[in-house]
Amino acid sequence: MWVLGIESSCDETGVALVRANSPEHADRAPTLVSHALYSQISMHQAYGGVVPELASRDHIRRVLPLTRQVLKEADITLQNIGLVSYTRGPGLAGALLVGAGVACALAASLNLPVMGVHHLEGHLLSPFLSEDPPQFPFVALLVSGGHTQLMQVDAVGQYHLLGETIDDAAGEAFDKSAKLMGLPYPGGPVLAQLAELGNPQAFKLPRPLLHSHNLDFSFAGLKTAVLTQAKKLGDMLEQHKNDLAASTQAAIVEVLVKKSLAALNQTGLKRLVIAGGVGANQNLRQQLNDACAQKNIRVHYPEMHLCTDNGAMIALAAAMRVQSGCAVYQKDYAFDVLPRWPLSQIHSVLS
């Protein structure tokens, strides 16, 4: 079965085609055939952050051309598609409505089933498209601009929350700290680049909840500490900026690594999956790889080009639900979106 996936939750428009396996090969991960992605970063840079109305309007412009592109690359037509999927939430309401509307209209015109997918489920399962896919069960560190969570993942649709952020997510800590340092939007990747040139021990920054004896996160206090240091330094020399970036990254990464190891110890599992945009951070990957190698723990990541929001992870999640027998299709082509949709409530909403 060919599965079309549409992602439009924030500032990236993604469309992809995934091929689900037949029942006799349901134990194998679906295959990504083609995908296309358009990022709105350059448009939002002038405003220092995402402008929801502009994001929604741009999704309208991009989604159909991207759909035509992935169909052409896969060398198939709309008539070959067996299922249309889209991001139902969480995300920006207007942006989500664009993807939902296009997906449901397309499915209705072709008399196809349609499936609304949880954005975070897409991220959680995205490493199954990598060259080194994981096996169930595993601990997942979901770490992005809006979410930082530790989950125990036993199978498709079976997710157990172990810990989450009580304020800012790790990605927010990167982006907001970068903004406090005067770095351009999006700040997180820029901060990570500067960190490679700095001394991670130059500034003593807090590691909130590091010794809390639970698996929750907090990064708001770190952001405040970065603000204090930035004010002390005033017009920072280049090396001071590099050192503050390195110290900030070191604080965030240390918390993520130690909490992940604690989650593995608590569950007794020996497999860790990293998902979400911050999973592309090279320092985080290196620290996790080194720490897990000492404990004989396997670590799995999405491919670098699939770390950010994309249609491939949405089509994948839908295809894996089909293969696992837990697919939940919409009863008709009426649709809604869920801008605030905790992953813990996925079953109650889909049932």
Mark whether 31 and 172 lie in a shared domain: no
Average pLDDT of the chain to the nearest whole number: 95
pLDDT of residue 27: 80
Which amino acid makes up residue 291?
A
Mark whether 60 and 180 lie in a shared domain: no
Share of the chain above pLDDT 70, in %: 100
Mean pLDDT of 272-291: 96
How far apart (Å, rounded) are the C-alpha atoms in residues 29 and 20?
A: 8
**Residues 126-171 pLDDT 10s:** 999 999 999 999 999 999 888 999 999 999 999 999 999 999 999 9
Mark whether 75 and 92 lie in a shared domain: yes
Joined tokens for residue 279? 């999973």
pLDDT of residue 146: 86
Joined tokens for residue 286? 């290196």
> Residue 32: beta bridge partners?
18
CATH number of 93's domain = 3.30.420.40
Assign 351 a pLDDT band (cuts: 50, 70, 90): low
Task: Return phi, psi of residue 139, to 5°.
Answer: -90, 135
Mark whether 103 and 182 lie in a shared domain: no
Mark whether 215 and 239 lie in a shared domain: yes
pLDDT of residue 143: 94
**Residues 190-211 pLDDT 10s:** 999 999 999 999 999 999 999 9
Mark whether 145 and 277 lie in a shared domain: yes
**Residues 67-105 pLDDT 10s:** 999 999 999 999 999 999 999 999 999 999 999 999 999
Mark whether 121 and 181 lie in a shared domain: no
Phi-psi region of 317 (alpha: psi -120 to 50; beta: other; left: phi over 0): alpha
Q: Residue 348 pLDDT more than 80? A: no
For 26, the domain range is: 2-126+307-350
CA-CA-CA-CA torsion for 51, 54, 60, 66, nearest 10 degrees?
-70
How far apart (Å, rounded) are the C-alpha atoms in residues 83 and 111?
A: 10
pLDDT of residue 250: 98
For residue 18, the Cα-to-chain-centroid distance in whole angstroms is 18
Mark whether 247 and 339 lie in a shared domain: no
Mark whether 51 and 162 lie in a shared domain: no
Closest to 144 in 3D by CA, of 12, 16, 15, 48: 12
Task: Return phi, psi of residue 43, to 5°.
Answer: -70, -40
CA-CA-CA-CA torsion for 216, 218, 219, 221, nearest 10 degrees?
-150
Question: Which residue, chain included where needed, has tokens 């979410």?
Answer: 147
Mark whether 144 and 44 lie in a shared domain: no
pLDDT of residue 23: 77
Mark whether 323 and 291 lie in a shared domain: no
Mark whether 184 and 253 lie in a shared domain: yes
Model-level pTM? 0.95
How far apart (Å, rounded) are the C-alpha atoms in residues 292 and 43?
A: 39
- Strand pairing of 138-143 and 271-275? parallel
Residues in the chain: 351
Number of structural domains (the chain) is: 2
CA-CA-CA-CA torsion for 104, 107, 112, 114, nearest 10 degrees?
-30
Closest to 335 in 3D by CA, of 114, 120, 122: 114
Last residue of some domain: 286, 301, 316? 301
